[in-house]
Structure 1
Amino acid sequence: MTTANRSLIMTGATQGIGWEAARDVLRRRPDTHLVVLGRASSASGILTGLREISPHVSHVDIDLASKASVAAAGARLEDLLDSGALPPLWGLVFNAGVHLSNALEATVDGYERTFAVNVMSTHQLLRQLHPHLRPPARIVVTVSDAHFGDLRHTGGTMPSPRWAIPDISRPGAYNRSGNVRAGRRAYVTSKLGGIYLVHEWSRRLPQGVDILAYNPSLVIGTGLARETGGAFPFLMRRIVPALAATPLADTPAPAGRKLANTILGATAAPTGAYIHRTKAMPSSTESYNPDREHALWNWLEQLPREQPPGTTD
């Protein structure tokens, strides 16, 4: 049996492309210990399937919509890494995300749920865990070409992003926030925010620790559309699957392999790059904005730090 000598921590590994990518990584790098970050209710059956590939799989419970839960999970991971219960950390993958039917849902902390899960939790975990990364290391943040918000990239199904920090972190920040279109605007805006995070972190991480934005593009059968409302779930179930036979769309298995290639470094790209499926290319013009990137960083850094239960400053 191969001994695990490096750790990979991953959100969004319980379904869709994340599940497929996790399986592919374990097959190709049996020396990896995979830590699945997710709710216990969704991880139990998944762990059994992953452990059929490798015994080096564990789980840490987390609710990405709760700052306290994220802090507690981060502290648990730090303890495991510091004690040697987990081998040295070489990779972080932020693949989890939500796409809702409105922009009104609030987290327990009062933030708009899409932005909290897709942007804020990523930064919070990175802030806690990045000191434990051992170069050469790689961080991957799953984004979306929906952040372009144009006809070419979304077929007219998604609006353009609306960037305004800190307004967009609050429920009800968009016009007619209770409507499906507002939920879609919140989603594409959060994916733009993910790219901003990648750019800003790439300037701050030490040499040998790369961070990349990965765009799987259109993937059928991931379950992401289940909460989007409107005609979108119908389109994803009945119309879009016909595209799977074309180069325009993937199913989870090939998309997961492409994500695994990015995680493992088989897809070469410089730190801060945007990878579209299999190669680095430019993201939207709007996504290159150092002032916005720095402002997002500063705002996230100024938020009150959550302390895990039983700890003090």
Structure 2
Amino acid sequence: MTAPTRTIVMTGATRGIGLEAAQDLLRRSPDAHLVVLARAASAAQVLPRLLAVSPHVTAVDVDLASTAGTLDAAAQVEDLLDAGRLPPMRGLVLNAGVHLDSAAHATADGYEKTFAVNVLANHLLLRRLHPHLRTTPARVVVTVSDAHFGDLRHTGGIFPPIRWSTPERLSEPGAHPRPTTGRAGRAAYATSKLAAVYLVHEWARRLPEGVDVVAYNPSLVIGTGLARDAGGASGWLMEHVVPALALTPLADTPPVAGRRLADTVLGTTRAATGSYVHRSRVAPSSDESYDVDREAALWTWLEQAAGA
């Protein structure tokens, strides 16, 4: 077995496309050491599958809904890198995300949970770990979604139109109309994915040359379990309607989407920093996603939430 020469840190690697991508990364990159940031119980379930591919896997416990928990996990990764127990870091995959049944769930820090996990946690990890991406070329990948378009063409009407507000407001439980409903949960998810695209654009301006950050949109994928907590129409559609689309070009299975995520991480899918990768090619994100004022405001709020 080849000794690892680079580290890839990944969230959302314990199920769905993330697990498929993690296995694919290990198969295709025997020189990589994969660090999985996940809750301990989830990591324990999938570690045997990952270790069967490569012995170079480390799990770090994290609660992405907690600012302190996210920063503590990042600090543990830093300690391993600084001590030489991990090879130099070359990749960061921010694939974790939640899609909940309402917009009323609050974290211990008081933030709306969807926004906390899908936006704030990504920023905290990238903020803390990006100085370790010293060996270039290096790549950061943030998983986003068609949901950020908020229109019929891209979401089939599952997600409502996005009503952007200030980051301060969007980070609060109850920010969306009728916050205890599934529709509000879908609005929170779509809005968080638009914010994630803004985050990619802003980080692309700030990372040094040779360190790229790109958004990856898997589009419609069956059998990921993402909507398991969404309830209502989303859960019903994902269970009864979407699986039929697997026989068409409109949807991918987790292995296919996972391989495409791995392609994006490894640079097989070529994409300049700040790009939006739709499945397997660079494409425009929504017209609304190109707003430098919103990007700057989001950055300012995230930095304040990080204690900067």
What TM-score results when the alignment is normalised by the length of structure 2? 0.98
* Displacement after TM superposition at 1:238 (Å): 1.6
| Equivalence for 1:309 | none
Partners in 1 of 2:306 and 2:147 — Cα distance?
Answer: 31
Opposite residue 103 of structure 1, the aligned amino acid is A
* Displacement after TM superposition at 1:304 (Å): 5.0
Alignment map for 1:67-78 (pairs within 5 Å): 67-78=67-78
* Displacement after TM superposition at 1:221 (Å): 0.3
| Equivalence for 1:52 | 52
CA gap of 1:304–1:158, structure 2 versus 1, over 3 A, is closer
The Cα offsets for residues 137-177 of structure 1, whole Å up to 9 and x where unpaired, read as: 00000000111011100111111222212101000111111
Partners in 1 of 2:160 and 2:96 — Cα distance?
Answer: 22
| Equivalence for 2:123 | 123
* Displacement after TM superposition at 1:284 (Å): 0.3
Alignment map for 1:171-182 (pairs within 5 Å): 171-182=173-184
| Equivalence for 1:205 | 207
Opposite residue 258 of structure 2, the aligned amino acid is G
Number of aligned residue pairs: 306
Contact 2:97–2:118 under 8 Å retained in 1: yes
Three-state SS of the structure 1 residue aligned to 2:232 is coil
Partners in 1 of 2:188 and 2:177 — Cα distance?
Answer: 11
| Equivalence for 1:17 | 17
RMSD: 0.9
Three-state SS of the structure 2 residue aligned to 1:305 is coil
Three-state SS of the structure 2 residue aligned to 1:225 is helix
* Displacement after TM superposition at 1:116 (Å): 0.1
Matched, 1:195 2:197: yes
Alignment map for 1:204-243 (pairs within 5 Å): 204-243=206-245
| Equivalence for 1:113 | 113
The Cα offsets for residues 180-230 of structure 1, whole Å up to 9 and x where unpaired, read as: 111000000000000000000000000000000000000000000111111
Partners in 2 of 1:96 and 1:178 — Cα distance?
Answer: 23
* Displacement after TM superposition at 1:42 (Å): 0.5
Structure 1 unaligned runs (5+)? 307-313
Three-state SS of the structure 2 residue aligned to 1:84 is coil
Opposite residue 74 of structure 2, the aligned amino acid is G
Opposite residue 217 of structure 2, the aligned amino acid is N
The Cα offsets for residues 54-84 of structure 1, whole Å up to 9 and x where unpaired, read as: 0000100000000110111111111100110
Opposite residue 255 of structure 2, the aligned amino acid is A
Residue of structure 1 aligned with 2:258, choices 249, 256, 259: 256
Matched, 1:158 2:159: yes
| Equivalence for 2:98 | 98
Partners in 2 of 1:277 and 1:287 — Cα distance?
Answer: 18
* Displacement after TM superposition at 1:34 (Å): 0.1
Three-state SS of the structure 2 residue aligned to 1:231 is helix
What TM-score results when the alignment is normalised by the length of structure 1? 0.96
Partners in 2 of 1:303 and 1:271 — Cα distance?
Answer: 25
| Equivalence for 2:169 | 167
Partners in 2 of 1:94 and 1:107 — Cα distance?
Answer: 20
| Equivalence for 2:297 | 295
Matched, 1:148 2:140: no
Percent of pairs with identical residues = 65
| Equivalence for 2:287 | 285
| Equivalence for 2:34 | 34
Residue of structure 2 aligned with 1:244, choices 240, 246, 269: 246
Partners in 1 of 2:240 and 2:302 — Cα distance?
Answer: 40
Partners in 1 of 2:61 and 2:51 — Cα distance?
Answer: 17
| Equivalence for 1:310 | none
Partners in 2 of 1:160 and 1:144 — Cα distance?
Answer: 14
Partners in 2 of 1:118 and 1:297 — Cα distance?
Answer: 14
Partners in 1 of 2:122 and 2:276 — Cα distance?
Answer: 17
| Equivalence for 2:61 | 61
Contact 2:124–2:306 under 8 Å retained in 1: no
Partners in 2 of 1:300 and 1:114 — Cα distance?
Answer: 15
